[in-house]
Amino acid sequence: MCRACVRYCPVKAIDRKINIDRDVCIGCGSCVKACQHGAMILEEVEDEISENSNQKLANFFRNDLTL
């Protein structure tokens, strides 16, 4: 395993054994884009992301938003 998904996850929701912590995952898709083997599929993650994922995304990118 190359573990690119682990390196590119901005919130460190993936451990070295490629387990995804759904309470930490913000559903950004960085892991999917980083995976050269097609092993990461966002749909599988989306089903189990907590209900407040939109709020987590907003909080994560808050500093990047310009009003």
Q: Tell me which residue range forms the domain holding 22.
A: 4-64
* Cβ proximity of 44 and 35 under 8 Å: no
End-to-end CA distance of the chain: 41
Among 17, 12, 13, 15, which residue's Cα sits nearest to residue 1?
A: 17
Q: How confident is the model at residue 32 (pLDDT cuts 50, 70, 90)?
A: very high
Counting the structural domains of the chain, the total is 1
Q: What CATH number is attached to the domain comprising 51?
A: 3.30.70
5-26 tens-digit pLDDT = 999 999 999 999 999 998 899 8
Whether pTM > 0.75 for this model: the answer is no
